Chains A and B, each alone.
Chain A
Amino acid sequence: MKKLLLGNEAIARGLYEAGVKFISSYPGTPSTEITEYAANYDEMYAEWAPNEKVATEAALGASVAGVRSFTAMKHVGLNVAADPLFTSAYTGVNGGYVICVADDPAMHSSQNEQDSRHYARAAKLPMLEPSDSVECRDFAKIAYNISEKFDTPVLLRTLTRVAHSQSLVELYDREEREIREYVKDPSKYVMNPGYGFKRHFVVEKRLIDLKAYSESCPLNREELNDTEIGFVTGSSCYQYVKEAFPNASVYKIGLSYPLPMDSIRAFSEKVKKLVVVEELDPVFETEMRAAGIRVDIGKDVFGLIGELSQVKIKKAMGIDTGDVRTFDEPVPPRPPVMCAGCPHRGVFYTLSKMKLTVMGDIGCYTLGASAPLSAVDSTVCMGASISMLHGFNMARPETANKTVAVIGDSTFLHSGITGLTDIAYNRSVSTVLILDNSITGMTGHQQNPATGYTLKMQPVPPVSLEKVCEAIGIRRVKTVDPSNLKALEAAIKEELSVDEPSVIICRKPCMLLKYVKAKPAFKVDDEKCRGCRACMKLGCPAIRFENKKAVIDKQQCVGCGLCTQLCAFGAIGEGK
């Protein structure tokens, strides 16, 4: 029986069938669902780690202990995990170890468009790239065989269009595996200079073996058809090429590092025109050119930015794809917004009103950067709000009373604690707001160490954010309810006025959590509304203006009551 599986669900299935026993990840779009689906199988232990570095190390530990282990992360998560990644190439594995990295070309939900294929090259690790859900499942399983055969961690790279597309997959049974014996071996696992230097020779020798494997393995294959034109491609681009040019010859790359250069060269000699189709950087093209293989069409027409597709590939190659309809008026864009009732809204309204400089972070609260709140000055990476605030305030101490950092609960535990330690240790007069909405929101509601539940919904003692801050050396730690705008503003004013580091924890659960019950929608009294637009400054999707009066959409309003606090005329009342 075939089932329609999301790429991520298919990878989870592959892990199950491959007998994987240990999974540790940190959520990140588009990788998150792999670990969520994996957690549904009782045979596999699965957890959320506080960050990708911890997850990668935990999974390496499980591999060294002798079980098949796994971690998944988004592309920028691999930056966090880069330290263990590079040295795990030296130690190799005991039980098979696969690291999944999900790239996000076109930045559907990311802060950059990096191409993780460079990591395979830099860390000298083999990389597999599935192009649909069947391959997600199959490649995940093959990755474990490669890992154990060559004694190496294996990178499995997906893209948004692979991870978040569904296609049909036949399901197979799980193959249980005995735990491998653990033997103490410092020369393999203690990477001090003496042992590590010797392991580098092993890494280089392994790459030579992997190159030979890449030439012969079925992951890389030639599909010889019409020889006028031949494509070298892999991952989602393979599907686009097959759709756009069903009769062309294709060399499909599944094991993308090390590349099967001899086979590609042989293919190039069979076709008249050689076209390399890859998203983002010219990784294949550069290596092919360096190997002396002629490339007739490549990045010169396809470009370095965003996603490709069947029509984009045709167009880039100068093929007419016909006219399309247009709508002859400007269509207003529909950017994502904070939900009605979002506990972050009051915070950003207040920061904007106080005209503060705000070092932002990664999460739903990135949306505080959009109009009309327009409250965020910087967003770089997980945890950067706090460390950047420290540097900013050290460089400009005179504006420290007008500058704050804003970070979510999960992001704080991911990599905000170290930044806060810098503030406490080096005594910058900095004010940090932790927006604790009791969940990891943007990636779709994952538990974290502060929520009191594990991935498999086991209750656990939650991390106390207050105590963590105090233990680091922050003496002023305050907790406020961000739905009380007056109290919130007073707390921020007070902490900005003192000459020492402080933390304000703004605590209110995400409105989308099941246990948070919506209140009846609020109503605007037409008689009382003067059309002053004060309520519009909240950027609430439930409030709009009609005939110069505010109107509340009863489908969307959840009765959070922020707007009533802004109305000077008492025009907004509770609904029934």
Chain B
Amino acid sequence: MKNTSIMIVGVGGQGTLLASRLIGHVLIEKGYDVKLSEVHGMSQRGGSVVTYVKYGEKVYSPIVDPGEADFILSFEAVEAARWIGNLAPEGKVITNTHEIYPMPVISGLMAYPENVSEKIAADAEVISVNALDLAEKAGSGKAVNTVLLGVMSKFMPEIEESAWMEAIEKIVKPQFVELNKKAFLLGRAHQ
């Protein structure tokens, strides 16, 4: 079996690390070899953040290189464009449509590209979702991460819904479990 590679990309502070921990948890329970890689430090201060998740029978490199990602899970619209070169030929992009302007856009030095997901979709399979809307529906804008995870979970048929629920119960702080379950299921139900 070929290994599967996931890239979780977003903006520092969006909760990408929780998403990767939940994925890691369900994959270990399934008995896969798993590697995760993330970069801490500077990148957390509102900068671009990238987490790699790889799983299969035996994983060596923790890095997902250009052309290798089976899934790009993008927490912010333009981040999907930034990393599109990493998508595998048959890979899928699952992206939030919410835009967070980076400093060069805020300070007027550069324009934020328009209709990013439509443009990516010309050349790749893209599932766009307004995750912020769904997260707020679930109870908090902070649950964008579990909404997107829910969307991606549909494309990982080997993992049952109950496994995801169990991971949320185990990993998320007790007071936020219900919120995150709700957010996850809203994402999972997204068409």
Size of chain B's interface in residues, with CB distance under 8 A?
A: 58
Q: Across the interface, which residues of B come within 8 angstroms of A493, CB to CB? A: none
Q: How far is the CB of A408 from chain B (nearest CB, A)?
A: 14
| A323–B86 alpha-carbon span in the complex (Å) | 10
Q: Flag if B102 contacts A333 (CB, 8 Å).
A: yes
Q: A109-B42, A164-B40 are in contact. Are A332 and B35 (CB under 8 A)?
A: no
Number of interface residues of A (CB under 8 A): 59
A541 to B40, CA, bound (A): 20
A329 CB to nearest B CB, Å: 5
A442-B87 in contact given A166-B24, A336-B12 (Cβ < 8 Å): no
Does B46 lie within 8 Å of A337, measured CB to CB?
yes
Instruction: Tell me the residues in window 37-75 of chain B with beta carbons closer than 8 Å to chain A beta carbons.
Output: 37-48, 59-63, 65-68
Instruction: Report B80 CB to chain A, min CB distance, Å.
Output: 9
B61 surroundings in chain A (CB, below 8 A): 239-240, 242-244, 309-310
Asked if residues A239 and B39 are in contact (CB atoms below 8 Å), the reply is: no
Interface positions of A from 1 to 60, Cβ below 8 Å from B: 2, 4, 29-30, 32-33
Q: Could you tell me if A108 and B41 are in contact, using CB atoms closer than 8 angstroms?
A: yes
B-contacting residues, A329-344, CB 8 Å: 329-339
Min CB distance A370 to B, Å, is 7
Q: Mark A304-323, 1 if CB is under 8 A from B, else 0.
A: 00000111100000000111
Taking a contact as CB atoms closer than 8 A, the residue among A4, A309, A544 that contacts B24 in the complex is: A4
B12, B28, B59, B85: which contacts A324 (Cβ < 8 A)? B85
CB distance from B164 to the nearest CB of A (A): 16
Q: Taking chain A's interface residues, is the majority helix, strand, or loop, or is none over half, making it mixed?
A: loop
Distance from B61 Cβ to chain A, minimum over Cβ atoms (Å): 4
B104 at interface by CB-CB < 8 Å: yes
- The answer to whether A332 and B46 have CB atoms under 8 Å apart is no
User: A536 interface residue, CB < 8 Å from B?
Assistant: yes
User: Are the C-beta atoms of B66 and A324 separated by less than 8 Å?
Assistant: yes
| B41 touching A443, Cβ below 8 Å | yes
With both beta carbons as reference points, the residue of chain A lying nearest to B25 in the complex is identified as A4
Check if B33 is an interface residue, CB within 8 A of chain A.
yes
Assess whether B43 is in contact with A109, with CB atoms less than 8 Å apart: yes
Contact partner of A240 (CB less than 8 A), chosen from B36, B40, B60, is B60
Q: Which residues of B contact A372 (CB under 8 A)?
A: 107
Contact A336 B45 (CB under 8 A): yes
Contact with B along A150-188 (1 / 0, CB 8 A): 000000000011001111100000000000000000000
Residue contact A371 to B107, C-beta cutoff 8 Å = yes
User: CB < 8 Å: which of B37, B43, B123 contacts A325?
Assistant: B123
Query: A425 contacts the other chain (Cβ, under 8 Å)?
Result: no
Residue pair B111, A332 in contact (C-beta under 8 Å): yes
Asked if A338 and B107 sit within 8 Å, CB to CB, the answer is no
> B78 to chain A: which residues have CB within 8 Å?
331-332, 334
11 further interface pairs, Cβ-Cβ under 8 Å (given A334-B11, A371-B107): A109-B41, A132-B35, A160-B39, A164-B39, A321-B66, A325-B85, A326-B85, A327-B82, A334-B47, A334-B79, A334-B82
B residues sitting closer than 8 Å to A (CB atoms) are 11-13, 24-25, 28, 33-48, 59-63, 65-68, 78-79, 81-82, 84-87, 89, 101-113, 119-120, 123-124, 141
